[in-house]
């Protein structure tokens, strides 16, 4: 039995080191251990001798006896239809790995935890360099995700390995670790330490409610004003989406005192996920379900972008839909922004844009591709129709159910399933709605901008690699 006690030094500034027990889940000692795996695209799994074991590990805590050998071309993979007991409450997953072949080139392999339908998953990348055993550990809260549906650790059913390049590697002693105070979600305390690593004691303020939390080091931000609008916003969201479950944790808005600190946050959080991210160029950005922006004294405490980004964070938590700049997220965020901060002349802007032929085909707009800021006005018209006109308003829950079931924002996959119409009918209904809701304006408006201070679609700074 490969067990051991590990000492984990927390990276958060205010957390002391903690001792926890790593419970080994996979140790490959059974002669039939390899037969339980399903392989694909040319991959193979076999059992091999784990020797030589790393000399620095004592007490049988590391590789010993047999190990699993995974050999695959680029794109090959192997999956096990099982996950550790209690995975959803664990702090991290660890495994011992080694590349086979002293002269083999470096290779990247992904560790996957996959939901039953295979459409949504958690994953992390391992870079294999050198042929000695080494232990890699991944906190659950810093796994990356794939799919429009945000995966849930309680729902994953498969564990897998995926080769990005041709590789032969050995795996042993796959374990889960429990650390008090750490689980599958980033705590407010740890998020504070990542967001404001050099903030003097007492300068970071926290406001927490059942449906939102605000963290800021901006002394000029009037939290009473922000709380009042946030309470109004969350009430409106709950009235609009009564069919969505409460957020799994309060969605968070970070407001940085300095623009430079705001821009450096995505690269910092991406680094924790074993990735990289470019600094955002927009005034607001949502990453890993956390809304961020920065304090501008000229724009004040009720800056629309704060609440626009918070809607993205709320939808990620309550709706279980990843924020990656797609039409549904941006439609809801801009709709809610305009309900809180009406833009003079917006209806005239819509009419002129329609008359000028500026609208994109709906099949193209409501697809799996991220939208542009210039699409925001049109997305507002689409969502206004969805919430005000039958049969769309009556079947709004089915839209979210279908988006999650397909793990996709491509409305074409489930338009009929969600609303019972085809594209011709959908376009005709939207055109008729716009003609009714945005009639020809008698007086031209000076406004020709999309919703005030929108946040750019978060594609440029998304974690990569």
Residue 336 covered by a domain:
no
Quick check: 222 and 301 in contact, CB under 8 A?
yes
Question: Stretch 22-51: mean pLDDT, rounded?
Answer: 95
Residue 405 covered by a domain:
yes
Q: Are residues 173 and 189 in the same domain?
A: no
Number of other residues whose CB lies within 10 A of the CB of residue 225: 12
Q: Are residues 64 and 93 in the same domain?
A: yes
Boundary of a domain, candidates 120, 146, 177: 177
Q: Show Cβ contacts of residue 442 under 8 Å, excluding neighbours closer than 6 positions.
A: none
Residue 360 covered by a domain:
yes
Which pLDDT score is estimated for 452?
Answer: 52
Residue 429 covered by a domain:
yes
Q: Which tokens in the block code for residue 234?
A: 């969350």
Q: How many domains are contained in the chain?
A: 3
Question: Of 290, 212, 214, which Cα lies nearest the Cα of 246?
Answer: 212
Q: Are residues 37 and 130 in the same domain?
A: yes
Q: Are residues 317 and 437 in the same domain?
A: no
Q: Predicted confidence band at 60 (pLDDT cuts at 50, 70, 90)?
A: low
50/4 Cα distance (integer angstroms) = 17
Quick check: 319 and 239 in contact, CB under 8 A?
no
Quick check: 69 and 169 in contact, CB under 8 A?
yes
Number of other residues whose CB lies within 10 A of the CB of residue 101: 10
Residue 229 covered by a domain:
yes
Query: In a 10 Å sphere around its CB, with 0-12 CB exposed, 13-18 middle and 19+ buried, how is residue 319 labelled?
Result: buried
pLDDT at 123 over 70: yes
268/279 Cα distance (integer angstroms) = 10
Q: Are residues 217 and 313 in the same domain?
A: yes
Q: Are residues 75 and 173 in the same domain?
A: yes
pLDDT per residue as tens digits for the range 347-377:
999 999 999 999 999 999 999 999 999 999 9
Q: Are residues 225 and 244 in the same domain?
A: yes
E-strand stretches of 219-282 = 252-256
The whole domain housing 18 covers: 4-177
Question: Stretch 316-326: mean pLDDT, rounded?
Answer: 95
pLDDT at 456 over 70: no
Question: Stretch 66-78: mean pLDDT, rounded?
Answer: 98
Which pLDDT score is estimated for 440?
Answer: 76
Q: Are residues 134 and 208 in the same domain?
A: no
Residue 338 covered by a domain:
no
pTM of the model: 0.90
pLDDT at 21 over 90: no
pLDDT per residue as tens digits for the range 236-272:
999 999 999 988 789 999 999 999 999 999 999 999 9
pLDDT at 455 over 90: no
Residue 231 covered by a domain:
yes
Question: Of 115, 120, 70, which Cα lies nearest the Cα of 95?
Answer: 70
CATH number at residue 250: 3.40.30
Question: Looking at the chain, how many residues does it have?
Answer: 465
280/456 Cα distance (integer angstroms) = 9
Q: Please report the sign of the dihedral spanned by the C-alpha atoms of residue 428, residue 433, residue 439, residue 440.
A: negative
Q: Are residues 148 and 248 in the same domain?
A: no
Which pLDDT score is estimated for 278?
Answer: 92
Which pLDDT score is estimated for 57?
Answer: 66
Q: Predicted confidence band at 454 (pLDDT cuts at 50, 70, 90)?
A: very low
Residue 258 covered by a domain:
yes
pLDDT per residue as tens digits for the range 328-353:
999 999 999 999 999 999 999 999 99
Q: Which tokens in the block code for residue 157?
A: 């059913």
Q: Are residues 258 and 120 in the same domain?
A: no
Place of tokens 């009564």: 242
Q: Are residues 133 and 268 in the same domain?
A: no
Q: Predicted confidence band at 106 (pLDDT cuts at 50, 70, 90)?
A: very high
Which pLDDT score is estimated for 347?
Answer: 95
Quick check: 17 and 179 in contact, CB under 8 A?
no
pLDDT at 50 over 70: yes
CATH number at residue 33: 2.60.120.430
Boundary of a domain, candidates 324, 357, 375: 324
pLDDT per residue as tens digits for the range 221-241:
999 999 999 999 999 999 999
| Mean pLDDT, the chain, whole residue set | 90
Q: Are residues 348 and 397 in the same domain?
A: yes
pLDDT at 428 over 90: yes
């Amino acid at each position: 039995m490969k067990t051991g006690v590990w000492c984990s030094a927390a990276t958060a500034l205010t957390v002391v080191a903690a001792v926890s027990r790593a419970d080994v889940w996979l140790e490959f000692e059974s002669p039939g251990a390899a037969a339980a795996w399903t392989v694909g695209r040319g991959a193979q799994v076999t059992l091999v001798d784990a020797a030589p074991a790393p000399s620095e590990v004592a007490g049988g805590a590391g590789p010993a006896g047999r190990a699993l050998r995974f050999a695959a071309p680029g794109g090959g993979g192997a999956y096990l239809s099982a996950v550790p007991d209690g995975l959803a409450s664990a702090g991290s997953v660890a495994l011992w790995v080694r590349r086979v072949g002293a002269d083999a080139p470096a290779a990247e392999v992904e560790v996957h935890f996959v939901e039953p339908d295979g459409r949504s998953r958690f994953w992390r990348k391992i870079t294999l360099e050198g042929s000695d055993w080494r232990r890699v550990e991944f906190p659950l809260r810093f796994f990356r995700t794939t799919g429009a549906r945000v995966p849930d650790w309680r729902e994953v059913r498969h564990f897998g390995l995926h080769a990005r390049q041709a590789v032969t590697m050995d795996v042993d002693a796959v374990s889960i670790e429990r650390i008090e105070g750490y689980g599958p979600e980033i705590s407010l305390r740890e998020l504070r330490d990542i967001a404001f690593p050099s903030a003097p004691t007492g300068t970071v303020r926290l406001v927490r409610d059942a449906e939102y939390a605000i963290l800021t080091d901006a002394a000029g931000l009037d939290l009473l004003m922000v709380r009042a609008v946030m309470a109004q916003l969350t009430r409106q969201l709950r009235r609009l989406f009564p069919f969505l479950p409460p957020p799994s944790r309060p969605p968070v808005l970070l407001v940085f005192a300095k623009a430079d600190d705001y821009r450096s946050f995505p690269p910092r959080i991406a680094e924790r996920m074993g990735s990289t991210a470019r600094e955002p160029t927009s005034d607001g950005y949502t990453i890993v379900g956390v809304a961020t922006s920065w304090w501008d004294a000229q724009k004040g405490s009720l800056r629309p972008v704060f609440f626009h980004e918070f809607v993205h964070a709320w939808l990620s938590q309550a709706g279980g839909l990843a924020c990656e700049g797609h039409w549904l997220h941006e439609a809801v965020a801009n709709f809610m922004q305009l309900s809180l901060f009406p833009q003079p002349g917006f209806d005239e802007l819509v009419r002129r844009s329609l008359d000028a032929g500026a609208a994109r085909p709906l099949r193209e707009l409501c697809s799996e591709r991220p939208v542009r800021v210039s699409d925001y006005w049109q997305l507002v018209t689409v969502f206004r129709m969805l919430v005000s006109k039958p049969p769309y308003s009556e079947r709004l829950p089915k839209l979210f159910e279908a988006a999650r079931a397909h793990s996709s924002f491509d409305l074409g996959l489930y338009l009929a399933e969600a609303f019972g119409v085809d594209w011709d009918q959908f376009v005709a209904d939207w055109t008729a709605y716009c003609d009714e809701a945005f009639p020809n304006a008698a007086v031209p408006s000076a406004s020709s901008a999309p919703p005030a201070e929108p946040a750019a679609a978060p594609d440029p700074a998304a974690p990569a690699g």
